Amino acid sequence: MIDFVPYSRASPSEDRLLLDELTHRVSNELASAIGIVTAAAARSSASEVKVALGRVRERLESWARVQLALQIPDYDTVIDASIYLRQLCHALMSSQLSWQGIELTVDAPPLQLHSVQCWRMGLIVAELVTNSARHAFSGNGGIIRVELASWEAAVECCVEDNGSAPKEVHPGRGLRIVAGLTAKLGGSVDHRFGPQGTRSTLTFPLVEQLPAR
């Protein structure tokens, strides 16, 4: 039996205001960059330049979709976590993985989950997928799998790659962020590193009813 700490909901606060401001600013900067690249492509008479700028615009638009998927929800409602994960992983594929020859698969049956829980889970998944993309494959491409399941009163989300982890893993800022988000979910995360790949398993309680406002 896994002992969970109480589930923590997002509440209006100074931290929430700062996060909203940061998200808004990043979104505006991405939109501005996309506009600049699009205008430059339109002005250029060289086909090679137009093609190159078009690829830059596509990459920026993909990052904008990731930013949108990871935006904090305005309300704590119930959504289908499988749809959310598939949309997030599709955006991650377009923005960074396909360029590196990395395949990302999702195995996620329908699961009703609170939007704030989904958001925090999505941040963790994005961080773990990015870690695998950066450190597991040495530029040779590979496969990352995301799996979602539920049992009893818990949710389990696994991120696994078929790369090669370093012999000594020193937790950096990314894994510290994962640990902090996991604590907010009232759950636990287990990392297994090995020569055949890395598997990180996030487990947290399934909240069946919306907390009282």
Render pLDDT for 2-56 as a digit per residue (tens, 0 to 9).
454 454 454 446 555 566 666 656 666 767 777 877 888 888 888 888 888 877 7
Mean pLDDT over residues 122-129, rounded? 93
Buried b / exposed e over 3-19, threshold 16 CB at 10 Å, is ebeebeebeeeeeeeee
- CA-to-CA dists, residue 140 to 91, 97, 120, 154, 177, angstroms: 21, 12, 30, 36, 27
Q: Which residue has the higher pLDDT, 20 or 209?
A: 20
Predicted confidence at residue 17, as pLDDT, reads 59
Q: What does the mean pLDDT of the chain come to?
A: 81
Sorted by sequence, the CB contacts under 8 Å of residue 73 that are 6+ apart come out as: 115, 116, 118, 119
Give me the half-sphere count of Cα atoms (radius 13 Å) on the Cβ side of residue 211. Answer: 15
Q: Which residue has the higher pLDDT, 95 or 161?
A: 161
Pairing state of beta strands 102-107 and 78-80?
unpaired
CA angle 196, 150, 163 (to 5 degrees): 15
Give the Cα separation of 112 and 132 in Å (integer): 27
Sorted by sequence, the CB contacts under 8 Å of residue 6 that are 6+ apart come out as: 186
Q: What's the pTM value of the predicted model, to 2 decimals? A: 0.74
Q: Is the pLDDT of residue 79 over 70?
A: yes
CA angle 46, 64, 183 (to 5 degrees): 150
